[in-house]
A and B are shown apart, each in its own frame.
Chain A
Amino acid sequence: MQSPPSQTPRQTALYQSHVAAGGRMVEFAGFMMPLHYGSQLEEHRQVRRAVGVFDVSHMGIVDIVGPQAHSYLRGLLANDVARLDGPGQALYSCLLQHDGGILDDLLVYALGKGAYRLVVNAATAARDLEFMRAALQGYAARVIHRQDLAMLAIQGPHARTVLPPLLPVSLRHHTQALKPFSAVWADDWMLACTGYTGEDGFEVMLPASQAADFWGRLRAAGITPIGLGARDTLRLEAGMHLYGHDMDESLSPLDCGLGWTVAWQPETREFIGRQALLQRKAAGARHKMVGLILQTRGVLRSGMPLLTANGEHGVITSGGFAPTLERSIALARVPLHCAERVEVDLRGRIGIARVVKPPFVRFGEILVDI
């Protein structure tokens, strides 16, 4: 999934801004990105209690335009863009291989007649583009990789208060009323009420040439920069899946708790992977995704094997220390009939974890018993 290490990592438009802010720069999905700017724990808490800004320009922004963009996407995605009520609405979907395995998960925004915008994962963007272009055959539509754009996420309970005056005037007045999974745009700036933290907040796409200036204005307004480390623990607490960990091409949405994102109706919609998925559905799911809270000492990590009460195997797909709960938590793929407790192999030591239903945290509130 990762880009070949031999390639020189790319920089986002904000690389110098991160270095100037003391960012510990690491290679991630072919980009040099800030892991943290001093303390990952502090950054996590900052987003839960106030507001922070993330550079997410490594994500792939892909516009689908043309008279048949709509029918192309209805054939491409496992969720159905016909469910979008109108321009400015967004939808979460998996992009499937023909065998039903997940190639990527993404957000699709309706931008108006014959125009959509997808936001895909950084590590999979090149592969997605190749797949999407191959699938274009016969459709009057184009796939445009918007590498001219940058993307910043402004997340946290104060986001709605602090952001408006820092936006272009044309977007400013829309911020207050913008609902989750909706977006507005003007002159190549797009403001979406979406995110990956479980908090209120926004994602802003803008010309890369203006990104450093916008970042400077956010910082001057006292908004703290947040690195990829906290982005991962925030999304884990929010119970959101991460491609390459909680799902990949060997698994279908039915295997990893994403069955709800597949639009089976109408039955006449033939999307890529539908037939394979129907077969997998008929065979019955064997696994489900659950949340875990470690009851003993240590930290749950991705890849750790686990055992259920009746001796069946499962695996931790994402794990870590949850700063809001001050416990280690995880997402895990477990057999369907998994009891309330599992044993996890923590580097040779057995830990006991309790099974819970994610999300662990939403809007600053702990939603599980710890």
Chain B
Amino acid sequence: MSDFPAELRYAPSHEWVRVEDDGTVTVGISDHAQALLGDLVFVETPQVDSQVTAGGACAVVESVKAASDVYAPISGEIVEVNSLLSDSPELINSDPYGQGWIFKIKAADLDEVENLLDAEGYEASLDADDS
């Protein structure tokens, strides 16, 4: 069964976000998304300092099965990317909410996070997909 930590917010396109103490926003893909993709073999992270727009594709995760875009859940500037993923993309499979994070955004407007789904809402959106 997939795991949806209650302290995170989620985009319907399967990204999660966590607002850190310093105000930056960490982004990854959900446990559900990594399970659907299967073993990850390649991650293309965005450029640090680049500007991203909520809903815009900004990273690519490729599994043994397929390539999939990762969308910026909120607008802002990329301030850091997870450099471990270039050698160990499987971290997204083994620890999607921890070591498998993908990039950090300095939000243009932190309130955008409030527009995202909570864990319950995200889980419900998955159930709706299944039916």
In the complex, chain B residues 41-62 whose Cβ is within 8 Å of any chain A Cβ? 41-42, 44, 60, 62
Tell me the nearest residue of chain A to B86, going by C-beta. Answer: A297
A227 to chain B, nearest CB (A): 10
Pairwise interchain contact B62-A298, C-beta atoms closer than 8 A: yes
Pairwise interchain contact A297-B41, C-beta atoms closer than 8 A: no
Task: Give complex CA distance A301, B65 in Å.
Answer: 9
Tell me the nearest residue of chain B to A233, going by C-beta. Answer: B64
Q: Could you say which of B41, B60, B66, B90 has the most chain A C-beta atoms within 10 Å of its C-beta?
A: B41
Which B residues lie within 8 Å of A182 (CB)? Answer: none
A-B contacts, CB under 8 A, total: 40
Which B residues lie within 8 Å of A24 (CB)? Answer: 38
Tell me the nearest residue of chain B to A229, going by C-beta. Answer: B64
Tell me the nearest residue of chain B to A230, going by C-beta. Answer: B64
The answer to the question of B123 belonging to the interface, with a C-beta cut-off of 8 Å to chain A, is: no
Task: Give complex CA distance A320, B65 in Å.
Answer: 8
Stretch at the interface among A35-43, A61-69, A193-201: A35-43
The answer to the question of B67 belonging to the interface, with a C-beta cut-off of 8 Å to chain A, is: yes
Q: Could you say which of B39, B62, B90 has the most chain A C-beta atoms within 10 Å of its C-beta?
A: B39
Tell me the nearest residue of chain A to B65, going by C-beta. Answer: A229
Tell me the nearest residue of chain B to A42, going by C-beta. Answer: B39
Which B residues lie within 8 Å of A42 (CB)? Answer: 39
Task: Give complex CA distance A297, B44 in Å.
Answer: 9
The answer to the question of A119 belonging to the interface, with a C-beta cut-off of 8 Å to chain B, is: no
Which B residues lie within 8 Å of A40 (CB)? Answer: 38-39, 64-65
Q: Could you say which of B60, B62, B67, B93 has the most chain A C-beta atoms within 10 Å of its C-beta?
A: B62
Contact check: which of B39, B44, B60 meets A41 at CB < 8 Å? Answer: B39
Pairwise interchain contact A39-B44, C-beta atoms closer than 8 A: no
Which A residues lie within 8 Å of B65 (CB)? Answer: 35, 40, 229
Q: Mark B62-76, 1 if CB is under 8 A from A, else 0.
A: 101111000000000
Q: List 5 A-B contacts (CB under 8 A).
A: A39-B39, A42-B39, A233-B64, A297-B42, A347-B67
In the A-B complex, the 5 residue pairs with the smallest Cβ-Cβ separation, listed nearest first, are A321-B41, A41-B39, A299-B62, A40-B64, A40-B39
